[in-house]
Chains A and B, each alone.
Chain A
Amino acid sequence: GAVVSQHPSWVICKSGTSVKIECRSLDFQATTMFWYRQFPKQSLMLMATSNEGSKATYEQGVEKDKFLINHASLTLSTLTVTSAHPEDSSFYICRAGDPDEQFFGPGTRLTVL
Chain B
Amino acid sequence: GESVGLHLPTLSVQEGDNSIINCAYSNSASDYFIWYKQESGKGPQFIIDIRSNMDKRQGQRVTVLLNKTVKHLSLQIAATQPGDSAVYFCAERGKAAGNKLTFGGGTRVLVKP
Contact = CB atoms under 8 A, between A and B. Distances in A.
Interface of A: 4, 6, 32, 34, 42-46, 49, 91, 93, 95, 97-107, 109
A43 B104 contact: yes
Interface of B: 32, 34, 36, 41-46, 49, 89, 91, 93, 98-106
Contacts of A49: 98, 100
Given A97-B99, A101-B34, A43 B105 contact: yes
Given A43-B104, A100-B49, A107 B42 contact: yes
B91 to A, nearest CB: 7
26 contacts: A6-B43, A32-B99, A34-B99, A42-B106, A43-B103, A43-B104, A43-B106, A44-B89, A46-B101, A91-B41, A100-B49, A101-B32, A101-B34, A101-B91, A101-B93, A101-B99, A102-B46, A103-B46, A104-B36, A104-B43, A104-B44, A104-B45, A105-B43, A107-B41, A107-B42, A109-B41
